[in-house]
Amino acid sequence: MATKRNLYGLDRGQLEALFQELGLQAFRGRQIMKWAYHQGTIDFAAMTDLPLKTRLWLQEHCSWELPHVHDRYLSKDGTVKWLIRIGQGDLVETVLIPDKGRNTLCVSSQVGCVLDCSFCSTGKQGFNGNLNAAEIVGQMAIANAYLAGKSESVTNVVLMGMGEPLLNFDAVLAATNIMMDDHAFGLSKRRVTISTAGVVPGIEKLQQHTDVSLAISLHAPTDELRSTLVPINKKYPIATLLDACRDYVEYLGPARKLVIEYTLMRGVNDQLHHAKALVKVLQKLRCKINLIPFNPFPGSGYERPEDSDIYAFQTVLMRAGFVTMIRTTRGDDIDAACGQLVGMVDDRTKRQQRYRDRLDQEIPAMQVH
Ligand code: SAH
């Protein structure tokens, strides 16, 4: 028998299109979403407002498949980390961070990462492919099932787990559409954030398709320094990146801001002159700043700055008028903090290298279907 079509991961437009292809009315797609996401019913037989014929057809041809949970870890501070199986042997990580009434979910979009930022352990694992939309949105369904036991649900999603979301554009777009759709998870667009190391064509393309929130991993105020930390900066330098950011934030409108992420590494990018240079670089961008004290991992070669240096850095930015938060480290007893997510990535450098070699041609040519 042919494999069934997994309806998790199809956003409303895709479900409606599928139904129209089948000669059914488009609104049946919305009905099904409500059953699955609002009622938690994935048994087509129980979807009583659908014609019997449709229910039978769906039973035969479609399914709702969540990715498989390989393991789950609970931190002393309430953080939860899931290892999720992707494909044959790969594992990616999803982290839930409960904090003062918020439940923020950090979601992975790729198995490993090709960008190889010098201070991120995910990049060191190599790369073994993209998650599909069901595997991305499935991470939210898994976290919600856990939270349902406490009568809670995920309130915020950040695409800050493993991978570079804008290099898996179509799947990330469909997954975030589902997260923000009132017929599905219904999160506000302010509460779903894609984080990118600076894939400029992806940023430019976002505004043709979505108004999701955006975070930029900047980490340095000069091209010279940034290129050593975030190699994709050689292809899309800071000025080009910030031009794309300004365009996107203009498109989002005056009530919205971008988030600038800046991981602080001792003696590398944490000096006062870096802070002052950052103020200049960000002057014409509507943004707030998240400072992330470096989270160590074996062999990284970097260290976290002293607290006093972190506060001094923050003070420079705040005095210049930027809302500046210091991200507290959560879940480090279960290796769930930013940059500690490694999962288990099968292939290593070969596939990563092949992918990098192709990046040059592929990034400008990215297409959304
Ligand atoms: N590829 C995307 C999303 C994944 S990384 C991006 O680059 O934005 C999510 C955030 O964690 C990024 O800002 C990244 O730079 C930061 N990060 C990575 N490794 C880290 C580490 N060891 N300590 C602190 N932050 C880290």
Is there a single domain that holds both residue 160 and residue 286? yes
**Which of these is catalytic: 16, 62, 93, 164?**
93
**What pTM was computed for the model?**
0.92
Is there a single domain that holds both residue 148 and residue 169? yes
Single out the residue in 63, 88, 112 at which a domain terminates.
63
Single out the residue in 42, 63, 84 at which a domain terminates.
63
Is there a single domain that holds both residue 48 and residue 80? no
What was the pLDDT predicted at 23? 85
Is there a single domain that holds both residue 131 and residue 9? no
What was the pLDDT predicted at 143? 97
Instruction: Summarize pLDDT for 26-79 with one digit per residue, the tens.
Output: 899 999 999 999 998 999 999 999 999 999 999 999 999 999 999 999 999 999
Task: Report whether pLDDT(182) > 50.
Answer: yes
Q: What angle do CA 223, 289, 216 make, to 5 degrees?
A: 50
Cβ 116 vs Cβ 352: under 8 Å: yes
Is there a single domain that holds both residue 49 and residue 88? no
Question: What integer best gives the mean pLDDT of the chain?
Answer: 91
Mean pLDDT of 306-313: 97
Let me know if 120 is a catalytic residue. Answer: no
Q: What percent of the chain stands above pLDDT 70?
A: 92
Q: What is the best residue among 117, 127, 329, 335 to mutate for testing ligand 1's pocket, by most ligand atoms within 8 Å of CB?
A: 117
Which CATH number fits the domain that encloses residue 13?
1.10.150.530
Distance 13 CA to ligand 1 centre (A): 31
Distance 148 CA to ligand 1 centre (A): 29
Is there a single domain that holds both residue 220 and residue 307? yes
Pocket of ligand 1 (CB under 6 A): 117, 119-120, 160, 164, 195-197, 217, 261, 263, 292, 294-295, 338-339
Cβ contacts of 352 within 8 Å, gap of 6 or more: 112, 114, 116, 126, 127
Single out the residue in 25, 44, 63 at which a domain terminates.
63
Q: What percent of the chain stands above pLDDT 90?
A: 80
What was the pLDDT predicted at 125? 83
Instruction: Summarize pLDDT for 266-281 with one digit per residue, the tens.
Output: 999 999 999 999 999 9
Instruction: Summarize pLDDT for 129-144 with one digit per residue, the tens.
Output: 999 999 999 999 999 9
Is there a single domain that holds both residue 50 and residue 119? no
Mean pLDDT of 262-269: 98
Is there a single domain that holds both residue 202 and residue 242? yes
DSSP states along 165-214: GGGSHHHHHHHHHHHH-TTTT---GGGEEEEES--HHHHHHHTTT---EE
> What are the two backbone dihedrals, phi and then psi, of residue 209, each rounded to the nearest 5 degrees?
-130, -20
Selection from 255, 256, 274 nearest residue 265 by Cα? 274
Q: Which of 106-110, 275-279, 352-356 has the lowest mean pLDDT?
A: 352-356
The ligand 1 atom at the shortest distance from the C-alpha of residue 106 is: 9
Range of the domain at 11: 5-63
Domain count for the chain: 2
Task: Report whether pLDDT(244) > 60.
Answer: yes
The ligand 1 atom at the shortest distance from the C-alpha of residue 115 is: 1
Task: Report whether pLDDT(12) > 80.
Answer: yes
Cβ 274 vs Cβ 305: under 8 Å: no
**pLDDT-derived band of residue 352, with 50, 70 and 90 as boundaries?**
low
What was the pLDDT predicted at 192? 98
What was the pLDDT predicted at 365? 36
Q: What angle do CA 184, 186, 191 make, to 5 degrees?
A: 135
Is 366 a domain residue? Answer: no
What was the pLDDT predicted at 188? 98
Task: Report whether pLDDT(347) > 80.
Answer: no
Task: Report whether pLDDT(348) > 50.
Answer: no
State the Cα–Cα distance between residues 56 and 60, nearest whole angstrom: 6
Is there a single domain that holds both residue 18 and residue 134? no
Task: Report whether pLDDT(336) > 90.
Answer: no
What was the pLDDT predicted at 250? 97
Is 367 a domain residue? Answer: no
Task: Report whether pLDDT(346) > 70.
Answer: no
Is there a single domain that holds both residue 48 and residue 172? no
Distance 57 CA to ligand 1 centre (A): 44
Let me know if 93 is a catalytic residue. Answer: yes
- Which residue puts its alpha carbon closest to atom 13 of ligand 1? 217
Task: Report whether pLDDT(180) > 70.
Answer: yes
What was the pLDDT predicted at 332? 76
Is there a single domain that holds both residue 52 and residue 72? no
Is 368 a domain residue? Answer: no
**Which of these is catalytic: 113, 120, 287, 338?**
338
Cβ 118 vs Cβ 152: under 8 Å: no
Is there a single domain that holds both residue 92 and residue 210? yes
